[in-house]
A = this chain, B = another copy of it.
Amino acid sequence: MLRSCTAGLRSIWALRGRREGAPRLSMDLQPARRLFSTEKVIHKDWALPNPSWSKDLKLLFDQFMKKCEDGSWERLPSYKRRSTQESEDFKTYFLDPKLVEEAQLFTRGFEDGLGFEYVIFKNNDEKRTVCLFQGGPYLQGVPGLLHGGAMATMIDIALGSCTGGAVMTANLNINFKRPVPLCSVVVINSQLDKLEGRKLFLSCNVRSVDEKTLYSEATGLFIKLDPEKSST
């Protein structure tokens, strides 16, 4: 099944190539096409400002970068693809080496500003993280509002950032209290509440920049992975 999907994608791109008469690829298309070449992928850190970031997002980013100066907080980098070490941690979960090479992190597959723009800061002593998130126009649900699934995705990532190491989500329980306007900035405060063996119990809330609006509250149960066992 996995191979047929990969083959399907190749046939689509091959078809497009023929239709367009072997064109020179635009800059924006290169990342997708490059996946089938042997060229090395440059691991760009996506958790840094770009011109699509709003004034609010840039301001909050600068405030947290200041907090990082004394070492109490750290900014977590974010890549489209896993590092060699991470891939090694997850090796028993690899299903098809070709597919893993082509795949990329769900939240980093959009062009700047259109999808998930976010950065996570971690306070290791306090076992908590703060995620600054701006959801772009390609994340729409109800017109003018962020899709509930996009919010759930960011909550999953924010909670996961509190765990450290290789984990998988076992439960997500999300209360959507107010809808999030598309392109607004929200702040997700997450914390580790309890650790029981390989089980991590976490919680978070999603608020507006001025903290006056509570958009969502959620709890999560995550399980630390055992690299010796395959779960599929």
A binding-site residues for B, Cβ under 8 Å:
1-2, 4-6, 8-9, 11-12, 15-16, 19-20, 23, 25-29, 32, 50-56, 82, 86-87, 90, 93-96, 99-100, 102-107, 109-115, 134, 136-145, 147-150, 152-154, 156-157, 166, 168-176, 178-179, 181-185, 225, 231-232
Contact = CB atoms under 8 A, between A and B. Distances in A.
A136 B5 contact: yes
B20 A26 contact: yes
Contacts of A25: 26
Dominant SS among interface residues on chain A: mixed
Contacts of A87: 143
Nearest to A53: B8
Contacts of A112: 12
A61 to B, nearest CB: 14
Contacts of A26: 20, 23, 25-26, 29
A171 B178 contact: no
B140 A178 contact: no
B95 A144 contact: yes
A103 B144 contact: yes
